[in-house]
Amino acid sequence: MPTTDTVKYSTKLDMMIQILKPSFFTGNTGVGKSIIISKFIIDNKENKNLHPVNLTFSAQTDSKSTQMTIEGKLEKLKGNALLGAKGNGTTVIFVDDINMPSVEKYGA
């Protein structure tokens, strides 16, 4: 059963993707942000020609692996410098749980 928040977030996400604007959803743990976004991507992957790139950061995540993950899902559009979505689609980069753990006293 959809809640007011799930309908609100789903509608806003749909609007932002239609106008090709990046979105950042934030809120308390357990309100369903990840589920709403994942469901939206799955439900609209075919009809909106979405090409999802899913990222989850951890203490081992570094900039090089993040870049390689994103670039691996893109194709060269012109020469070697311009990358974009495959075909005529839209790449959607979903970063789940953007909070990075704090460095502890021994550097881990």
* Nearest alpha carbon to residue 52 among 30, 26, 29, 34: 34
Delineate the domains of the chain, giving CATH numbers in brackets. 4-96 (3.40.50.300)
78-89 per-position pLDDT tens digit: 777 788 888 888
26-79 per-position pLDDT tens digit: 877 777 888 888 988 898 888 888 889 999 887 778 889 999 999 999 998 877
Confidence of residue 101 (pLDDT cuts 50, 70, 90): low
Strand ranges, E, within 1-108: 50-56, 75-78, 82-84, 90-96
